[in-house]
Amino acid sequence: MRVAKDDNVKIIAGNSKGKTGKVLKVYPGNERIIVEGVNFIKRHTKARSRMEPGGIIEKEAPIHVSNVQVLCPRCGEGVRPRRSTLAEGKRARVCNKCNEIIGKV
């Protein structure tokens, strides 16, 4: 997948279009991710004990990875990163627009 945990992404489709956030969790098998502060759902929970009361809880729901673009740290735009081999032989994700390395190497 082109999106990894702790990446900053921009939502390009759906109810949260235009918002940005940090990737909290990645589900590669389902091609879905959870983004901080985006795509909230309401979950009705039953009380389990006095310490865990019941009620309506809002939490982030997964969204499909095709609905997001990784934000480039240099140009600040949403891009589809490409894979590139560096001089040391390591592979990295690179911005298509400004050739900046995205994320950890």
pTM for the predicted model, two decimal places: 0.82
Q: Does domain 1-71 have CATH number 3.30.300.90?
A: no
pLDDT one-digit tens code per residue, 9-64:
999 998 889 999 999 999 999 999 999 999 999 999 999 998 988 999 999 999 99
Q: What stretch of H or E contains 45?
A: strand 40-45
User: Which band of pLDDT confidence, cut at 50, 70 and 90, is reported for residue 98?
Assistant: confident
Distance CA 56, CA 60 (A): 13
Burial of 54 (0-12, 13-18, 19+ CB in 10 A): exposed
- Is the confidence at residue 91, as pLDDT, over 60? yes
Radius of gyration of the chain (CA): 17
Q: Where in the chain is the domain with CATH 2.30.30.30?
A: 1-71
